[in-house]
């Protein structure tokens, strides 16, 4: 007989207790604060509500990871945009999907 989990495994990533507050402080200090702070707060509130219903911290951890990644990659994206790289050959996948309908 094999034992089976009766619940989903815990996400291996476990942020420090103050990570959400630190992340929010970083967002508020950034030049994108007007758009990023409300977006983070909406996602955090939704994940918090889901956490209350499921007794799982996984959704909260995911929101933190996604926003930490966004903050970490922002300087590279800014540098790319500032470089003037010609992306006119970019294929807009949403536009392509719209043409198929």
User: Could you tell me the pTM of the whole model?
Assistant: 0.70
Q: What confidence tens digit (pLDDT) does each residue in 43-58 have?
A: 999 999 999 999 999 9
On the question of pLDDT at 94 being above 60, the answer is yes
- Asked if residue 71 lies in contact with residue 27, where contact means CB atoms within 8 angstroms, the answer is yes
Other C-beta atoms closer than 10 Å to the C-beta of 20 total: 17
Q: What confidence tens digit (pLDDT) does each residue in 49-84 have?
A: 999 999 999 999 999 999 999 999 999 988 888 888
Give the Cα separation of 60 and 14 in Å (integer): 10
């Amino acid at each position: 007989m094999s034992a089976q989990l009766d619940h989903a495994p815990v996400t291996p990533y476990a942020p420090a207790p103050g990570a959400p507050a630190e992340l929010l402080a970083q967002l508020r200090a950034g030049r994108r604060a007007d758009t990023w702070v409300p977006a983070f707060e909406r996602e955090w509130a939704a994940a918090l509500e889901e956490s209350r219903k499921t007794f799982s911290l996984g959704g909260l951890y995911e929101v933190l990871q996604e926003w930490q990644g966004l903050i970490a990659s922002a300087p590279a994206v800014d540098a790319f945009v500032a470089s003037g790289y010609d992306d006119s050959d970019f294929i807009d996948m949403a536009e392509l999907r719209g043409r198929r309908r």
